[in-house]
């Protein structure tokens, strides 16, 4: 997947908010490393994360794939000090269009060491979502909806936070034939996002960045990620703006 999930801005896939299938039919892969893994503005690690994925796309627009990244929740303020070693995503959908592009699909987020690290997880980090996106030239709008448990979020009374949704508005402006300026604003609502946002209104996310794509498959991005959350971030730090640097390589199989 092209810039698949990590919202460092470049390529804005938005956290499954915007998932783009490979442009050509067939198998493709990707691999890379990011200075810190942020997902919808929230820290999934406080150190570099490596990732990679495989995708298959058909001429009809159907695609299916998987993407994985290393994560570390040990420093999050969840009270159990647990660690989850890897996030693995499985997704499928349809994408296409010319003047107006579209992308709809479903994604399942699975965490490999959840039970080993934290015992019986209730609620679970494992989450399923549906997503959709429309593109209009340089502009895009995308959204996601999780109908059930949402990344182990809980309500103030301790019950599982069920249901979450969000919408992104995106903009990408080519600066040269290889360099682009990217921007996005996301609104995250529902019980799950209220839990992570720190109040009953959810939270907003803001992203600015530069991305470069080279003809040999290598890419680089620099993104500034901000939120208006009331809660603190990884390791008790304030939720200050964060700079994320990403280096990636995409290839056909």
Phi/psi region, residue 68 (left: phi>0; alpha: psi -120 to 50; beta: rest), is beta
| Residue matched to tokens 């991005």 | 221
CA distances from 16 to 43, 116, 139, 143 (A): 16, 26, 17, 8
Beta bridge partners of 12: none
Phi/psi region, residue 161 (left: phi>0; alpha: psi -120 to 50; beta: rest), is beta
Tens digit of pLDDT for each residue in 129-160? 999 999 999 999 999 999 998 998 888 888 88
Separation between Cα atoms, residue 195 and residue 49, nearest integer Å: 25
Buried b / exposed e over 3-27, threshold 16 CB at 10 Å, is bbbbbbbbbbbbbbbbbbbbeeeee
**Tokens matching residue 96:** 């296409």
| Domain annotation for the chain: domains and CATH numbers | 26-252 (2.40.160.40)
Tens digit of pLDDT for each residue in 194-234? 988 877 889 999 999 999 988 899 999 999 999 988 665 44
Cβ distance 153 to 136 under 8 Å? Answer: no
Look at the pTM and tell me if it is higher than 0.75: yes
Length of the chain in terms of residues written: 253
Tens digit of pLDDT for each residue in 86-132? 999 999 999 999 999 999 999 999 998 665 444 445 678 899 999 99
Q: How would DSSP label each residue in 66-78?
A: EEEEE---TTSSS
Separation between Cα atoms, residue 135 and residue 142, nearest integer Å: 8
pLDDT band at 47 (very low <50, low <70, confident <90, very high): confident
């Amino acid at each position: 997947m092209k810039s698949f999930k990590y919202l460092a801005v470049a390529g804005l896939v938005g956290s499954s908010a915007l998932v783009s299938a490979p442009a050509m039919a067939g198998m493709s892969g990707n691999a890379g490393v990011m200075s810190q893994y942020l997902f919808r503005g929230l820290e999934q690690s406080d150190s570099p994360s490596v990732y990679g994925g495989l995708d298959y796309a058909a001429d009809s627009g159907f695609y299916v794939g998987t993407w994985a990244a290393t994560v570390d929740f040990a420093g999050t303020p969840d009270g159990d000090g647990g660690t989850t070693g890897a996030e693995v995503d499985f997704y499928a959908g349809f994408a296409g269009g010319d003047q107006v592009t579209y992308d709809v699909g479903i994604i399942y987020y699975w965490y490999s060491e959840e039970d080993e690290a934290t015992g019986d997880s209730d609620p679970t980090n494992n989450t399923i979502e549906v997503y959709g996106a429309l593109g209009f030239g340089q502009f895009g709008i995308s959204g996601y909806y999780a109908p059930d448990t949402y990344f182990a979020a809980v309500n103030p009374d301790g019950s599982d936070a069920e249901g979450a949704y969000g919408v992104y508005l995106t903009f990408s402006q080519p600066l040269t034939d290889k360099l682009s300026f990217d921007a996005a604003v996301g609104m995250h609502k529902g019980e799950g996002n209220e839990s992570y946002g720190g109040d009953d209104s959810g939270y907003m996310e803001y992203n600015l960045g530069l991305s470069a794509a080279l003809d040999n498959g290598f890419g680089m991005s620099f993104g500034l990620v901000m939120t208006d959350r009331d809660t603190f971030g990884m390791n008790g730090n304030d939720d200050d703006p964060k700079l994320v640097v990403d280096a990636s390589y995409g290839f056909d199989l």
